[in-house]
A and B are shown apart, each in its own frame.
Chain A
Amino acid sequence: MKHSISYYPGTKPITVLCLFILYTPLIVISLYSFNSLRSITTWGEFTFDWYIKAFSNPAIQNATMNSLLIAVLASSIATLIALAAAMGMLRGTPLKRQKIVVGVINLPLLLPEIVVAVASLIFFIAIDMTLGLGTILLAHIVFCIPFAYLPISTRLKDIKQSFDEAAYDLYASRWQSFRHVTLPMAMPGIVSGLMLAFVVSLDDFIVANMVAGPGSSTLPMTIYSMLRVGLTPEINAISTILLLVSILFVTASWWCNRSSKSST
């Protein structure tokens, strides 16, 4: 028997409390990024000054470029690898220990980030790699793969193998069948995975902070180091933008997968 969740006493206040604790700080930060005063308790008047200031700060400019560069590269490469993995897992002859292989692909989702960060750092030092953007990129590619893999494999599972058969029947080679049938049909999942991976890379602090070298700060790292000097409305502004970008991408990713569901 199914109950509406409002059947259970206390559902409403608990829900409201959770939402309040989760989102109030974000809303406060976003609102006060438009405050002309430095204070976070008193409202002066509405202004875009802090945004302008943040954008003209060379440290933030530099960090934004680094973050975007890494996010674009890491998410693209991770998506390519994830697509290849998903095709192998779902379209190839099943491997002997398929479940274990899929588990390994998705492992970064379960491992504590700090463990990944420390392990990556030790590894990079052990193989004598210069810490910098390169090491951040490598680490990001690795932990972005499962985020790209999940929507892609979900989508591929929904595409019936009979489409492949239809393509072969109509003289397509395996590559043509992939290129003209599987790939376009899987595209919503691929775009969705790409965007998730992009956001995850853009927002990462722990791993980047650990494996970055001098002068290769990403945006979250820069925000963190600015915080140590003191909270400024500039940070509010830049955080608000990061927040918006993340919400936008996650929503778009969800939307992609949703609209593709209705077409199959």
Chain B
Amino acid sequence: MTTAISLKSVTKQFKDFQALNEISFDIQEGEFFTLLGPSGCGKTTLLRLLGGFEQTSTGVIELFDEKIENLPANKRPINTVFQHYSLFPHLTVHENVQFGLKMQGVAKAERVKRADEMLALVQLEKFADRKPNQLSGGQQQRVALARALAPRPKLLLLDEPLSALDLKLRQSMRLELKKIQQQTGITFVFVTHDQEEALTMSDRIAVMSAGHLQQLGTPSEIYEEPVNEFVADFIGETNLLNVNVLSKGEQSAEVTIQASDTEHQNSDVIEVPYFNRLFLGPTAKLSIRPERITISPFTGETPLTATVEQSIYMGTDTQYIVILNTGCELLIRSQNITSSKKTFEQGDKVNISFDLSTARLIRG
């Protein structure tokens, strides 16, 4: 595999605000790579640095081993699908798609042919002669994609392109984007704040927060093995319990769950796996995904008993908020596999269990 883009200690300083702090990572050729983070985390700034709309303060950006950080946007073989598409309103769909090729000086016959191909790729052949404002949001989105793909860029940047679409359309566009990415083989860098979008489409995800890269990995790595509290909390939902680390081995550590107050002391030692640096003492948190917890009728005093605080029926599953015997609150999601499955009501006493191998110890 070749490296398509390589960031080396990239920093971006606006007047009194550090938008990006020493960002370094590589993106492989042909990858669907996502920059994920809450608004203001620096993901859009990073995208603008890649596109050439902003200058790096320090650091190096290499595109297929060539330094590009000082090239202006129009000299980089990189195209962008903008958040609000920015389709040229005075040009037809076909002319919009041809625009990049025309600016590159591609001959007319070739230009028309490529634009036709691109419109076929996004299934908009019939709309070639329309103006952008005669198209729906989803169609405009496809035109923007065709326009950015037409010059066959070495890298395609997508700046939250689905955020303006309604939910149903967004879901179908996710699949379509992924399909088009695989068909064209072009490296995609996708920016989003929507973790579901990131998980469903990406080969790898870079989770960002406050100008820092928090974690980089495949969707399942990010979900299953979050390196810190931010990632665990931002990707999906999770329960974070304060734990006291008693001892640690190669891959697992012995911990006790800390109670929220003194009258609920629980000194049962449990052994859980961990994946990154850990310190002894009350320094860690245990992350347990709500769908990995089993809730069952109360049968006796097991290590974890709880009282149901709230029970919310949500169709595919039922969501419970329970109070553990240690005093902490826990979110549980239980799939409604059969329609007759017994649900628990507020005030019910229940037993809680989870497979320790699915719980993750992270630094607090």
Contacts and interface: CB of A to CB of B under 8 A. Distances in A.
Interface of A: 160, 162-163, 165-173, 176, 180-181, 184-185, 263-264
A175 to B, nearest CB: 11
B88 A181 contact: yes
B190 interface: no
A160 B74 contact: no
B72 A163 contact: no
A184 B88 CA distance: 10
A171 B74 contact: yes
Given A165-B53, A180-B99, A263-B133, A173 B74 contact: yes
Given A170-B147, A170-B148, 17 more contacts: A160-B86, A165-B73, A166-B80, A166-B88, A167-B88, A167-B103, A168-B72, A169-B73, A170-B79, A171-B74, A171-B151, A172-B74, A172-B103, A180-B99, A185-B88, A185-B89, A263-B133
Contacts of A162: 82, 84, 86
B277 interface: no
Central interface residue in A168, A169, A181, A184, by most chain B CB within 10 Å: A169
Sorted nearest first, the 9 A-B pairs with minimum C-beta distance are A170-B100, A166-B86, A171-B103, A168-B73, A172-B103, A162-B86, A168-B74, A184-B90, A169-B80
14 contacts: A160-B86, A165-B82, A166-B86, A167-B99, A167-B103, A168-B52, A168-B72, A169-B80, A171-B75, A173-B74, A173-B103, A180-B99, A180-B102, A263-B133
A166 B132 CA distance: 15
Interface in B41-56: 51-53
B151 A163 contact: no
Contacts of A180: 99, 102-103
Contacts of A171: 74-75, 100, 103-104, 151
Contact of A170 (B52, B53, B75, B99): B99
Interface of B: 51-53, 72-75, 78-80, 82, 84, 86-90, 99-100, 102-104, 133, 147-148, 151
A170 B115 CA distance: 14
Contacts of B82: 162, 165-166
A264 B90 CA distance: 10
Contacts of B89: 185, 263-264
B176 to A, nearest CB: 22
A74 to B, nearest CB: 28
A184 B51 CA distance: 25
Contacts of B86: 160, 162-163, 165-166
A258 to B, nearest CB: 16
Nearest to A173: B74
A165 B52 CA distance: 10
Given A165-B82, A168-B72, A176 B88 contact: no
A171 B75 CA distance: 6
Nearest to B80: A169
A124 B61 CA distance: 60
A15 B355 CA distance: 83
B104 A169 contact: no
Nearest to B98: A170
Contacts of A176: 103
Contacts of B53: 165, 168-169
A264 B147 CA distance: 20
A104 B225 CA distance: 64
A160 to B, nearest CB: 7
B51 A169 contact: yes
B75 to A, nearest CB: 8
A176 B102 CA distance: 10
Contacts of A173: 74, 103
A10 B75 CA distance: 66
Central interface residue in A160, A163, A170, by most chain B CB within 10 Å: A170
Contacts of B84: 162
Contacts of B151: 170-171
Nearest to B95: A180
Nearest to A165: B53
Contacts of A263: 89, 133
A263 B131 CA distance: 10
A165 B44 CA distance: 14
B79 A169 contact: yes
A237 B78 CA distance: 64
A113 to B, nearest CB: 37
